[in-house]
Amino acid sequence: MENFNRLNDLYFKKLLGDKKRKNLTLSFLNGVLNKDDKNYFTDISFLDKDNEPLTLDGKLSKLDIRADLNDGTQVDIEVQVCPFKLMAERSLYYWSKMYSEQLEKGAEYKKLKKAIAINLLAFDYLEDEQEWHNIYNLLNVKSHKKLTDHIEIHFLELPKFTLKDMRKIRVSEAWLAYFSGKYSKEELEEIAMTTPAIKEAVEFEDTFLQDKIERRAYEQREKAIRDYYSYMNAFKEEGLQQGLEQGLQQGLQQGLQQGLQQGMQKGLYQQAIQTAKNMLKDKVDIKLISKYTNLSVEEIKKINEE
C-alpha cells in the first residue's frame, strides 16, 4: 500500500504490542537502548491490554505499549503523530505513574526497578537538538553526575532521521528507517539483510493490509487524524480572522480615544495661553498666573516677551 503510515497507533500496537511478536518488540527495545550481547533483554511481558486511544489527540489515552522486561525494568513505548507542545510533561507524567505503580501499599523502596519512557515522534520537538535520538536522565546540574539510573526518557524524532550508511546500519537505525516511511520496499529488504526483524515486520505489514477488517480500522484511524488536522487548521484560520477584526476594532477605538484626549489637551492648553495673555495685560503677577493656568513661569515669561 502506497503511503502506508506505520506510526498509525492501531498498526503499531499490532506490530510491537502483541506477545505473538514479542521478538520484534525486544529487537526494537534492545536497539533503541543500545544493548549488546552481554546485557540485552531476553523476554518481555505486556501489561496494558486495553490500550485503545480514548481521544484523537491522545490526552486521555492510556500508554501505547507498557511492559515488564526480564530484569524487572518497566518500559513505556509511545507513538505521537500529531504535534504536541507539552510532550516532555506528558512523558514525565506517564513515567511517574509507571514508576509509582510498582509499589503496593507498605512495600519497600528497594523493590523499585528502573522505568524507561520511549517517545517515537512524527514531528520535530527538541528544537535545540540536532540528533534524532536524545536521552534524558536525572543529573547534578554542576557535576553532571547521575543521581539514579531509575529514570530514563528517550525522544526519537523521525523528521531528523537520515540513514548515513546502509552497509553499517545499527538495529535502532533499521527500525527508524522502517517507521520513517522514507525508504522503499527494496531498500528495506537490503536493511533486512543485517536486521532480520525488519524482514518479519514487512511480512506482517503485508498480512495486516490483506485483512479487510484490520485495514478498515486502519483507514478509519487515518481519516480521524486527517479530520483533526483539518479542524485545527480551520480553527486557526477562523481565530486569526477574528483576531484581526478585534485588533482593528480595538485599534480604531484606541485611536479615537487618543485623538479626543489629545484634542482636549490641546484645547485646554490654548485656553490657558489666552488666559495668561489676558492676565498679563492686566499686570497680574507671573507667579499668580502660573498658579491659575498651570503654565510654568518660563512659559508665561516667553508669552510676555512675544
The model's pLDDT over 233-282, given as tens digits with 9 standing for 90+, comes to 776 666 666 666 666 666 666 665 666 566 656 666 777 788 778 788 87
Distance CA 143, CA 128 (A): 22
In this structure, the number of other CB atoms found within 10 A of the CB of residue 166 comes to 15
Which residue in the block uniquely carries the three cell numbers 529487537? 27
User: What percentage of the chain carries pLDDT values higher than 90?
Assistant: 38
Q: What are the tens digits of pLDDT across the range 176-217? A: 999 998 888 888 888 988 899 999 999 999 999 999 999 998
- How far is 170 from 177, CA to CA, in rounded Å? 10
Q: What would the mean pLDDT of 39-45 be, rounded to a whole number?
A: 87
Mean pLDDT of 214-236: 77
Query: pLDDT tier at 304 (50, 70, 90 boundaries)?
Result: confident
- In sequence order, what E strands does the chain have? 44-46, 65-69, 74-80, 115-121, 133-139, 146-157
Sheet with 133-139, side-by-side order of all strands: 44-46, 65-69, 74-80, 115-121, 146-157, 133-139
Place of cell 485646554: 268
Q: Which of 157, 137, 155, 156 is nearest to 147 (CA)?
A: 137
- What CA–CA distance (Å, rounded) separates 186 from 118? 28
Largest interatomic CA distance in the chain: 108
Q: Which grid coordinates are listed for 56? A: 484523537
Position with higher pLDDT, 254 vs 4: 4
**Alpha carbon 67 to chain centroid distance?**
24
- Pairing type for strands 65-69 and 115-121 reads unpaired
Pairing assessment for the beta strands 146-157 and 74-80 based on DSSP bridges: unpaired
Those residues whose C-beta lies under 8 Å from the C-beta of residue 201, and which sit 6 or more positions away, are 15, 24, 178
